[in-house]
Amino acid sequence: MPLLVRLDDQLHARRMTLTELSDAVGITLANLSILKTGKAKAIRFSTLEAICRVLECQPGDILAYDPDGEAQDPAP
């Protein structure tokens, strides 16, 4: 599943840390870390909505599909 999570880029652009995002969206740091490192198997719409709201971006800014790219394999 060659899906890329670009949460790091969005955080960097807004000079925001993962901890700050965690506080703002009300999602644990551990779960956001799983998402950021591409180890998540799925993402809830509510999570995506909260992140987009705080980072003022679109889902496409966070998720990307690269058919030729290496998959960010979820943890087994």
Which spans of this chain sit near other proteins (rule: CB under 8 A)? 27, 31-32, 34-35, 39-44, 47, 74-75
- Do 10 and 35 form a contact (C-beta atoms < 8 A)? no
Q: Shortest gap between Cβ of 18 and other proteins (angstroms)?
A: 13
- Non-local (6+) Cβ contacts of 26 within 8 A are 50
Whichever of 14 and 31 has its CB closer to other proteins, that residue is: 31
Question: What minimum distance in Å lies between the beta carbon of 35 and other proteins?
Answer: 5
Least separation in angstroms between CB 40 and other proteins:
4
Q: How far is CA 33 from CA 55, 56, 68, in A?
A: 16, 19, 24
